[in-house]
Each structure stands twice: as C-alpha cells, then as structure tokens.
C-alpha cells in the first residue's frame, strides 16, 4: 500500500495543515517512537474499508490500534512467552474485556482474595449486566475443585494476593481448569512477568495492570492481556468496540518502563526482603508479617518454583489494631502514603480504609486482612533508608499502642 502523498503546495492554510511531511525512515530507531495519529491515509477509498474489516493489515483508526501500541503488544507477548498480547486503557478495562470474552453465557468463579477494584467491577457487572459471579478462596487445586461447578466457564485468580501475599498454585489450578474444560485468567499484576509467566504454566490468559510494575514509575494508567492469537483477536475487538483502547502516549510510557522492569523488580524484591526481616524481628507490636521471603510464609517453598526465585516487592504487616496501623502509616517519611504499587517510590497503604473499603466485613476476612493490616509496596530507594523508616514507624505505632 502506498502512503497518501504529502501535499506541500497550495495556499497558506493548506500548507499549514499538510506541510509537515514525515520523511521516509528506512532505519530502525533505537527507541520506540510515539505515533499520536488518530487516523491513517490510504491510496484508495476501498482500502479504508478493507482495513476496517481486517481484510488487509495496517493502521486505520487510533481506537483500533497504533504503531506504539503494537510495540507494547510485541514486548508483552515476548515477556509472557505468549503468542499475542493486547492493551487497554487500564488494568480494570483489560480484566473486563478478557473475562467478558471468555465467560460466554456461563458463571465466573473468582478468587475471594481479589483486588478491590476487581471486586467493584464484578459487582457492577452482576448488578447492571447480568453477570453471574461466585467467589471462593482459590489458592490450590483442592480449593478450586471444591468451588467449581458445571456452570462456571471461567476462573479468575491472582498470582500473589493483595495484601496477604498468598501465592496461588497456578500450574495445579491450570491443570484442573484444563481437565474440566474451563478457561483460566490470571491477574499477574503483583508478580509481573519477571516473577511469573502464567501462560507458560497453563493459564488461558494473563492480565496485568501496567499501571504497576510494567509502567513502574507511577506516571501512567494502562492494562495488558496476553494469550493465544484467537483470544487476543477477540479481546482486541472487545476493547475497540467498547472504546477502552490505550492511547499511544500511555503505550509509550509502558514500553519505556519495561526496559528497566527486571532491574527494578530485582532491587525492589531485595529491599522488601530486608524490610520484611526488620518487621519480623520487631520485639513487639507486630502480630504478623506477610512476605514470601519469610520461612513462616505458607507458600515460601513456591518462591523458587513459581516465582523465579524472587519474593516480590509487596508485603503486609498486621499491627493488631486500626489505630496502630494508622500511626505506623502516618509516621513513615520515605514510604509515601498513597494508593497503587509497583513503582520506584515506596508506598504505604492501610487497606481497610482505602483499597478494600468497598468490601463488607465478611469479604475483608475472606480477602485475608484485618483492621490493623498495613500494606507496603517497596520501591528502589536505598535499602538502609527503607529499613530505618519502618523501624521509626514501628516505634510510633508502639507509642500509640502503649
Ligand atoms: C491496580 C490493579 C488492578 C487494576 O488496574 P488499573 O490499572 O488500576 O485499572 C487490577 N488488579 C490488581 C492486582 C491491581 O493491583
């Protein structure tokens, strides 16, 4: 296909609109360019129709696709060792698309240790769109067998639960799903592809909030999905028809962030391990510390087998009471009191009053947290500064308790 010939002649206003001709570049730029064009010229009118109906490959309209997003899809597919990948305007939009495509007319079975925003999404879809959704603890094959019925068409689990850091046995869960002919979606946001690649473990699809580790700098909201060509084709259609496509600037920020993903996740995991050790060694005030690096973590043995040997950057600490948890969070000087996770900045959050505020008390308990739970997303600052910060915050929580 010949590109539309650039027009550099005509009157002033015509040249102002058409005069910025793009030179043909026969080289590969080292960095991915941002393509903000919302629409693409063709040589003939018929070609526009062919592009819109996918009869020829190419770009036609920004809501469908753009070259910067294509670059993001390529790197996500590569990191997840999946045939194809797609993106959406948020992790939530990506979860909605992949679950809607896979559920057909059946019921959705989702883990009870679910990210708060996904609870809200599923509750709305039940209320407004007639979805049928069930929740159960889904960490093991036995958990899944106990909850799965013939009406379920899709199972949704999270690799590492928020905030308990409980690890789901993805290979075992995937084996049950395959045996029962049920699709498996894994929200791998807390792990990132550095720790876990669920499609290689038998999941139908992996979904991630790229707002977190993939973007990694707290400056973009985005979501990605990876899986088979057939599934990703259906997700693509769902995303552009419902209008939740990712913009090229956001796609570019995620592509840029991913270049340092492995470095950031390794350093953040090491920092989180040091912080978890400091909290676990506290003489008083700490009821429990949840981090996969600790021997006491129920799935500690899965770190080398399922998480590539890295315990991850998220941890939770139970300080026994809401006032102690609030005093701890309020005393932090390096950890920033903020929502989100997976970025360069260390963040502290009190889930019961923030990320999990949508949950009723029984749902809170199912999600594995209490009023005194504080979640830490450990960043890439100096280890010593982070350890000193939690030591100081613990003292403040202790003063409060005393
Ligand atoms: C943040 C998050 C989401 C939602 O992603 P958004 O980009 O905020 O829509 C989903 N799942 C998990 C585990 C998350 O941490």
Q: By the 8 A CB rule, do 320 and 373 touch? A: no
Measure 73 CA to ligand 1 centroid, in angstroms: 18
Q: Tell whether ligand 1 has an atom less than 6 A from the beta carbon of residue 204.
A: no
Mutate which of 115, 186, 188, 314 for ligand 1? The one with the most ligand atoms within 8 Å of its CB, which is 115
What is the reported pLDDT for 3?
A: 55
Q: What is the pTM of this model?
A: 0.95
DSSP 317: E
Counting every residue, how long is the chain? 402
Per DSSP bridges, beta strands 152-158 and 133-136 are: unpaired
What string of DSSP letters covers 204-223?
Answer: SEEEEETTTTTT-SS----E
What is the reported pLDDT for 1?
A: 45
Integer Cα distance of 128 and 243 in angstroms: 18
Measure 95 CA to ligand 1 centroid, in angstroms: 9
Q: Do domains 66-258 and 261-398 have the same CATH topology?
A: no
For 233, half-sphere exposure in the C-beta direction (CA atoms, 13 angstrom radius) is 6
Return the ligand 1 atom nearest residue 95 CA. Answer: 10
Q: Tell whether ligand 1 has an atom less than 6 A from the beta carbon of residue 209.
A: yes
- Phi, psi (rounded to 5 degrees) for 152: -80, 135
DSSP 61: B
- What 3-state class would DSSP assign to 195? helix
Q: Tell whether ligand 1 has an atom less than 6 A from the beta carbon of residue 90.
A: yes
Place of tokens 């669920």: 198
What is the reported pLDDT for 401?
A: 67
Nearest residue (CA) to ligand 1, atom 1: 209
Integer Cα distance of 27 and 328 in angstroms: 54
Integer Cα distance of 253 and 69 in angstroms: 10
What token pair was written down for 388?
A: 């000193």
Q: Tell whether ligand 1 has an atom less than 6 A from the beta carbon of residue 92.
A: yes
Integer Cα distance of 276 and 310 in angstroms: 14
Q: What are the pLDDT tens digits along the chain (402 aa)?
A: 455 566 678 999 988 888 888 888 889 999 999 999 999 998 899 988 888 888 888 999 999 999 999 999 999 999 999 999 999 999 999 999 999 999 999 999 999 989 989 999 999 999 999 999 999 999 999 999 999 999 999 999 999 999 999 999 999 999 999 999 999 999 999 999 999 999 999 999 999 999 999 999 999 999 999 999 999 999 999 999 999 999 999 999 999 999 999 999 999 999 999 999 999 999 899 999 999 999 999 999 999 999 999 999 999 999 998 899 999 999 999 999 999 999 999 999 998 888 777 777 677 777 778 889 999 999 999 999 999 999 999 999 988 765
Integer Cα distance of 256 and 263 in angstroms: 13
Q: Tell whether ligand 1 has an atom less than 6 A from the beta carbon of residue 91.
A: yes
DSSP 339: S
CATH topology of domain 66-258: 3.40.640
What token pair was written down for 269?
A: 């995991």
Q: Output Rg (C-alpha) for the chain, integer angstroms.
A: 23
Per DSSP bridges, beta strands 183-187 and 205-209 are: parallel
Q: Tell whether ligand 1 has an atom less than 6 A from the beta carbon of residue 189.
A: yes
Integer Cα distance of 163 and 272 in angstroms: 14
Integer Cα distance of 159 and 197 in angstroms: 10
Q: Tell whether ligand 1 has an atom less than 6 A from the beta carbon of residue 187.
A: yes
Measure 143 CA to ligand 1 centroid, in angstroms: 24
**Residue ranges per domain, the chain?**
66-258, 261-398
Measured N-to-C along each axis, helices 67-79 and 248-258 cross at an angle, to the nearest 10 degrees, of: 30
Q: By the 8 A CB rule, do 276 and 289 touch? A: yes
User: 103: Cβ–Cβ under 8 A, 6 or more apart, which residues?
Assistant: 131, 153, 154
CATH 3.10.129.10 fits 261-398, yes or no: no
């Amino acid at each position: 296909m010949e590109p539309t010939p650039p027009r550099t002649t005509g009157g002033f206003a015509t040249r102002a609109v058409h005069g910025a001709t793009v030179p043909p570049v026969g080289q590969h730029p080292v960095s991915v360019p941002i393509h903000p064009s919302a629409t693409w010229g063709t040589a003939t009118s018929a070609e526009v129709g062919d592009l819109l109906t996918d009869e020829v490959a190419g770009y036609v309209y920004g809501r469908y696709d753009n070259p910067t997003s294509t670059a993001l899809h390529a790197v996500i597919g590569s990191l997840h060792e999946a045939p194809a990948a797609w993106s959406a305007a948020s992790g939530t939009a990506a979860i909605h698309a992949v679950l809607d495509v896979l559920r057909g007319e059946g019921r959705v079975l989702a883990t009870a240790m679910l990210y708060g925003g996904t609870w809200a999404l599923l509750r709305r879809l039940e209320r407004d769109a007639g979805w049928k959704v069930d929740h159960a603890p889904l960490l093991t094959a036995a958990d899944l067998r106990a909850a799965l019925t013939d009406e379920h068409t899709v199972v949704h689990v999270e690799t590492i639960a928020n905030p308990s850091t409980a690890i789901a046995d993805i290979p075992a869960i995937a084996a049950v799903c395959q045996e029962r002919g049920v699709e498996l979606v894994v929200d791998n946001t807390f792990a990132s592809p550095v720790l876990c690649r669920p499609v290689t473990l038998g999941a139908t699809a992996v979904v991630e909030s790229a707002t977190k580790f993939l973007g990694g700098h707290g400056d973009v909201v985005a979501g990605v999905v990876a899986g088979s060509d057939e599934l990703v084709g259906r997700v693509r259609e769902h995303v552009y028809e419902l209008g939740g496509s990712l913009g090229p600037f956001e796609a570019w920020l995620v592509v840029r962030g991913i270049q340092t993903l492995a470095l950031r996740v390794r350093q953040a995991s090491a920092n989180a391990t040091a912080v978890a050790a400091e909290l676990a060694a506290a003489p008083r005030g700490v009821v429990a510390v949840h981090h996969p690096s600790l021997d006491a973590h129920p799935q500690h043995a899965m770190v080398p087998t399922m998480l590539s040997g890295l315990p991850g950057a998220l941890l939770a600490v139970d300080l026994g009471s809401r006032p102690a948890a609030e005093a701890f969070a309020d005393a932090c000087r390096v950890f920033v009191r903020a929502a989100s996770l997976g970025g360069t900045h260390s963040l502290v959050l009190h889930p019961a009053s923030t990320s999990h505020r949508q949950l009723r008390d029984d749902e809170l308990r199912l999600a594995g947290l209490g009023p005194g739970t504080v979640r830490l997303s450990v960043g890439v600052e100096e280890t010593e500064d982070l350890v000193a910060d939690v030591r100081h915050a613990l003292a403040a929580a202790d003063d409060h308790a005393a």
